[in-house]
Amino acid sequence: MFSPDYEKRILKHCSPVARNLFNAFEAASTSTSLDRFIPCRANNNWQTNFASINKSNENSPQTSKKQRDCGESARDSLAYSCLLKNELLGTAIEDVKAVSDERNENTYTPAAKRSLFKYQSPTKQVTRLCDLNTDSNTVTSVSWNERGNLVAVGTHHGFVTVWDVAASKQINKLTGHSARVGALAWNGEILSSGSRDRLIIQRDTRTPAQQSERRLAGHRQEVCGLKWSPDNQYLASGGNDNRLYVWNQHSLNPVQSYTEHTAAVKAIAWSPHHHGLLASGGGTADRCIRFWNTLTGQPMQCVDTGSQVCNLAWSKHSSELVSTHGYSQNQILVWKYPSLTQVAKLTGHSYRVLYLALSPDGEAIVTGAGDETLRFWNVFSKARSQKENKSVLNLFTNIR
């Protein structure tokens, strides 16, 4: 609706025909029975594009005849143009005569073949780091190092390449696996890789592989999950053999073994808030998120999520974690620990959510699924976490 004062200022310059036109425009804008398509107006320069509307038919015989029949004058046309500018651009034109004088001094030259509206999304720029098609190979895992300057890429053929992202240059190629590498985890300059060949190999990316290689053999089937603890002292691994192992840096054998899961263990996450607390998720036949006290080797809580658990990640700012799921609900859940109450349930993916990454600021996540889409979600609020109770009487702030 137009304000009465504004309508009075504009309409005093117009003929009765123009007033009827304004009234019809106002009535249409307030109608609740009409629907309309609203185009993308991003990156539009309204001040310039307003004058770019095609007016080639204004001087046609049909238009001139219609104007003569209706009694519409050039002044009415100018007043209507001022009305649109005020509504769309907020120009606050009060005197049509001033605009007419200005137009006579400065004539607009419309850009050729330009449109006022754009009906397509702006072009997105994507940088290609590597292409394995020439080797008939595929990417099976990726992992950033902690500083964010290097990314490791695991492949179907069993080797791992390390890339300097800023230079778009491969700086290392690590061999040793005989099957696809489905799990990667950084610990400083040490890179751990888990493969379908059932091995975990740890290598220092700064030196030749043979000088720093450690082979951890324990899983009976493919290694599908790897995560280092926040203090970089322990490595947790999950496999298709339904086993969850914990390794240290001094032994070639696992120091802890958990066998409660009844399906593959791909989802693994260490809590950054509770020392020694480890969470793991089971596959379709299990559907549970389990929590472990790795300081004592004892199991803790367990929650049945109702669907395959594909990934887990803890919030950096609060005692919450997010889980992604597959069959059959393909959902994303946010949990409060230790109550294990659901904070949020996010849906949108149509296939299992196999991939999850946490943003550097810890407030957002990105998920990838079999539906070939990436989706970004704001799930962890830093502001909300700062308001949490930090009482020393909270029994769940530490594991003893």
State the DSSP code for 21. Answer: H
pLDDT digits (tens, 9 = 90+) for 251-280: 999 999 999 999 999 999 999 999 999 999
Residue 69 burial by Cβ neighbours in a 10 Å radius (0-12, 13-18, 19+): exposed
- Tell me what pLDDT residue 67 has: 53
Residue 145 contacts residue 186 (beta carbons within 8 Å):
yes
- 395 pLDDT tier (thresholds 50, 70, 90): very low
Report the alpha-carbon angle 202-208-209, nearest 5. Answer: 30
pLDDT at residue 162 greater than cutoff 90: yes
DSSP 105: H
Mean pLDDT of 99-107: 57
Query: Any idea which residue has 């080639």 for tokens?
Result: 56
pLDDT for residue 354 is more than 60: yes
End-to-end CA distance of the chain: 66
Q: In whole angstroms, what is the distance from residue 366 CA to residue 137 CA?
A: 25
Residues 6+ apart with CB under 8 A from 369: 330, 349, 350, 351, 352, 353, 354, 355, 375
Q: What is the largest CA-CA distance in the chain?
A: 96
360-386 per-position pLDDT tens digit: 999 999 999 999 999 999 999 776 555
DSSP secondary structure of 279-297: EEEE-TTT-EEEEEETTTT
pLDDT digits (tens, 9 = 90+) for 27-62: 555 554 445 555 555 555 555 555 555 544 545 555
| H/E segment holding residue 20 | helix 16-30
Q: Based on the number of CB atoms within 10 Å of its own CB, is 155 exposed (0-12), middle (13-18) or buried (19 or more)?
A: buried
Could you tell me the pTM of the whole model?
0.66
Phi then psi for 296, rounded to 5 degrees? -110, -10
pLDDT digits (tens, 9 = 90+) for 167-213: 999 999 999 999 999 999 999 999 999 999 999 999 998 877 566 78
pLDDT confidence of residue 391: 43
User: Does residue 392 surpass a pLDDT of 50?
Assistant: no
Q: Is the pLDDT of residue 123 over 70?
A: no
Higher pLDDT, 84 or 307: 307
Q: Alpha-carbon torsion 156, 162, 165, 169, what sign?
A: negative
Question: Which of the four pLDDT bands, split at 50, 70 and 90, describes residue 394?
Answer: very low
User: For residue 44, what are its two tokens?
Assistant: 């539009």
Residues near 360 by Cβ (< 8 Å), separated by ≥ 6?
Answer: 148
Give CA–CA dist 177/12, Å, rounded.
Answer: 83
| Residue 257 amino acid letter | S
Cα-atom radius of gyration of the chain, to the nearest Å? Answer: 32
% residues pLDDT > 90 (the chain):
58
Indicate the pLDDT class of residue 87, thresholds 50, 70 and 90.
confident
Question: How would you classify residue 168: left for phi > 0, otherwise alpha for psi between -120 and 50, otherwise beta?
Answer: left
Per the CB < 8 A criterion, the answer to whether 353 and 367 are in contact is yes
